[in-house]
Structure 1
Amino acid sequence: FTINPYLLLFPLLFVLLLVLRLSVIPVLFLGVLTGSILTVCYQQQPIQVLWLAAKSGSPSIMESMSRQSQAYWNLLDKGGLQDQWWTVALILCVLVFGGVMKASGMLEALPNGFARAVRGKRTLGVMAVLCSFFTNLASPDHHLSISLPGRILRKSLAEEGAEPENLSRPLADAGPSTAALVPWSMTSIVMTALLGVELWAYAPWAVILWASPLLAILFALLGIFSSRGDKPAKKSGNGHGPS
């Protein structure tokens, strides 16, 4: 490869577009298009190389890495669409399963059970963490582990007169992190496919994945970082308001 300081303008432009919070898909498309143009024009590579790289990775890079280090080879030999077909197929199957669970109403039955177990502000945080984790077990999409329990437990939040942070914080602590600990979640599938590391190998060392929900439960039980909010309004015994 021909290395030139001017080529740094491309990744800097890419970072600038991300900092400006532009839509992800157009930014990725622009990155692929710009990289392809630089490969053909500046690196003097034929267009066929672009197709081979998209289909099965870059053979020249793979050959060079295999001679230098087996660790580099294991990390970089996952390129190309051809190597990702099984991952894409597995993700599609997982999405179909999640769609069936959601459309049949079975997915909503889970947070409804946790909502009935809420007995106060502290148990609200605990139930939010547990509900988010079990939603990850039943659904492949970690976004549902936040939105679905949040929608169901919102009524319990209002009944307890708690601030929204008492629900949103434990959901944010448990949802995305525990998704990577579920073998059939899209997060775990992508990490295993791209990095080549099985869940059972990285889980003990990814402390934040299991420490975050455990700390959220501990803080909820101890009332740490809990917003008091307003007390729920008490109903009058005779059913009439103040005269």
Structure 2
Amino acid sequence: MAKNDLFEHETKKEFNFFMAIIPLAVMVITMLYAIVVLETDPHLPLIIGTVTAAVVAFINGFKFDDLEEMMYKGIRLALPAVVIIMLVGLIIGSWIGGGVVATMIYYGLMIINPQYFLVTICLICGIVSLAIGSSWSTMATIGVAGMGIGVSMGINPAMIAGAVISGAYFGDKMSPLSDTTNLASGLTNTDLFVHIKHMLYTTVPGLIVALTVFFFIGINVIGTNTASPEDIQVMLASMDENFVISPWLLAVPVLVILCIIMKVKAVPALAVGVFLGFICSILVQGETLADSASFLMNGFVLESNNEMVDTLFNRGGLMDMMYTISMTIVAMTFAGILEYTGMLSAIMNQILKIAKGTFGIISATIVSCFATNATCSEQYISVVVPSRMFLRTYIENRLHSKNLSRSLEDGGTLTSVFIPWNTCGVFIYGTLGVSALEYAPFAILNFTVPVIALILAATGFGIAKITAEERDAYLAEYYPDEQQEKPATA
């Protein structure tokens, strides 16, 4: 199903704002109680939110069969993400069993200074993601190794995850190969490279802030709290004892990254990684066919005399991702009802009413993107829905469309990681093993960039305007069948 198919529907009845907000309010309240008070999983609050949304929709004239189909359509939207999550589980299991992860950690421990580790891993993830255009693929390869190296050094996993996420999303956001970058520029009718150039105003300062913070954390915190050289030597010896360590194994992640650079789609590229890891498990590590298959299904199992090494490598496999997949499916049932019934549009329209002036319009866009990430649990929707709702407002207020495309990425692409039940949040949890609530304070680029965007909107710096003639031409081109009123000048 094409992503835009989600929005090709008709609603039975217009929802007012207060009726539309009920399911969201119920979900948020129960989510806070479940996570903060009960310290349990977010699945049940999402189910409660889905039931509430269904009841509200039923009261407003929707039939149960319609609501059931809406939930199925929401789930179908997430199926590409589910397939990638499954492949990541397989790739982690095969790469651990094949000694690929152990090799990356082994050499990483030998050459990277713990004090500069966060800065280093952030930059590496940024470069790789910029080259391949995928934050998910970067986190599934370089991120997994980075977590292993950093944890072996005694660094807080939340800090490592924050550095990995900051770098991966910088590259994803700025890469012409990124799907969200192309989506944001395409939906706003903005040239791709004009869109990327305009994002430099917010994204590069955000990266500089992130690297600066990671540098000072490394100097002032990590330098005094890392594992001792003796501890690291013990870990190296333990890995050397339990795995065949060879620089040739580094060819596996390199080949996967090269596949993506050569524009091979993420699914076949990751499948190649799974196959190579499986082969390495048999031919390099000497595992049996049955054990190698078990690594794919149930993950790797290691019983060494080093607890840290066991913690690092006892993971992966398809079954390890079932928690993540189930939360994605539950979240998308909630999202499907909100979007298809028109409840989300009712909420967005209310936000649109209070957007006045440049600062109001841009801040409303960013808030709407974040709200869509929270309600619809899918990064793509957080770009698509606001783009459709705000494009005319930008044109009428003589704001260039590249301001909108940038705001969609600043508020949508980057903030998706902060929602535990968003597909990005659950993917990161399943891949890096750190929850959104833990890594959020350290995903510095992701929350700094929206703040910088708001500062630019308030000051007017880096905000592109169009002339009145250009505005009228855009309106005539995009809305030819509508009787235009004289628009207000921003």
Who is 1:52 aligned against?
Answer: 294
Which structure has the highest helix share of the two?
Answer: 2
Query: Is 1:167 equivalent to 2:404 in the alignment?
Result: yes
- Report what 2:366 is aligned to: 129
1:148 aligned onto 2:385? yes
Match of 2:419 in 1: 182
Shift of 1:53: 0.2
Number of equivalent positions: 230
Per-residue CA deviations over 1:179-238 (Å, capped at 9, x if unaligned) read 22223222222323333333332222222232221221121111121011222449xxxx
| 2:283 alignment counterpart | 41
Deviations 1:19-67 (Å, cap 9, x if unpaired)? Answer: 11211111111221232233333443221012210122111xx323xx3
Structure 1 gap ranges (5+): none
In 1, are the aligned partners of 2:300 and 2:315 still within 8 Å (CA)?
A: no
SS of equivalent residue, structure 2 residue 414: helix
Q: Distance in 1 between matches of 2:457 and 2:322?
A: 43
Which stretches of structure 1, 4 residues or more, deviate above 6 A after TM superposition?
none
Contact 1:126 1:221 survives alignment (8 Å): no
Matched, 1:26 2:263: no
CA-atom RMSD in angstroms: 2.3
Per-residue deviation, 1:69: 4.3
Partner residue of 1:63?
303
Q: Which residue of 1 aligns with 2:479?
A: none
1:194 to 2:431 alignment: yes
Deviation readout 1:157-193 (Å, 9 max, x if unpaired):
1211221111111211111222222232222223233
Look up the match of 2:158. none
TM-score if structure 1 supplies the norm length? 0.84
Match of 1:10 in 2: 252
Contact persistence 2:417–2:424 (CA under 8 A):
yes
Distance of aligned partners of 1:153 and 1:76 in 2 relative to their CA distance in 1, 3 Å threshold: farther
Aligned to 2:376: 139
Whole-angstrom distance in 1 between the partners of 2:408 and 2:326: 29
Code of the aligned partner of 1:24: A
Q: Are the equivalent residues in 2 in contact too, given 1:14–1:31 (CA < 8 A)?
A: yes
Distance 1:50 1:138 in 2: 40
SS of 1:226's equivalent in the other structure is coil
Q: How has the CA–CA distance of structure 1 residues 193 and 43 changed in structure 2, closer, same or farther, with 3 Å as cutoff? A: closer
Between the aligned residues of both structures, percent identity stands at 26
Please tell me the residue identity of whatever aligns with 2:377.
P
Letter in 1 for 2:398: G
Q: Which residue of 2 aligns with 1:97?
A: 334
Is the CA contact (8 Å cut-off) linking 1:110 and 1:131 kept in structure 2?
Answer: no
1:112 aligns with 2:349: yes
Select the structure with the greater relative contact order (CA < 8 A; seq sep ≥ 6).
Answer: 2
Task: Specify the structure having the higher radius of gyration (Cα).
Answer: 1
The answer to whether the aligner puts 1:229 opposite 2:469 as a matched pair is no
CA contact (8 A) 2:400 2:466 kept: yes
| 2:256 partner amino acid | F
Offset of 1:129 from its aligned partner? 0.8
Structure 2 residues not aligned, in runs of 5+:
1-242, 474-484, 486-490
TM-score (norm 2): 0.44
Separation in 1, partners of 2:453, 2:336 = 29
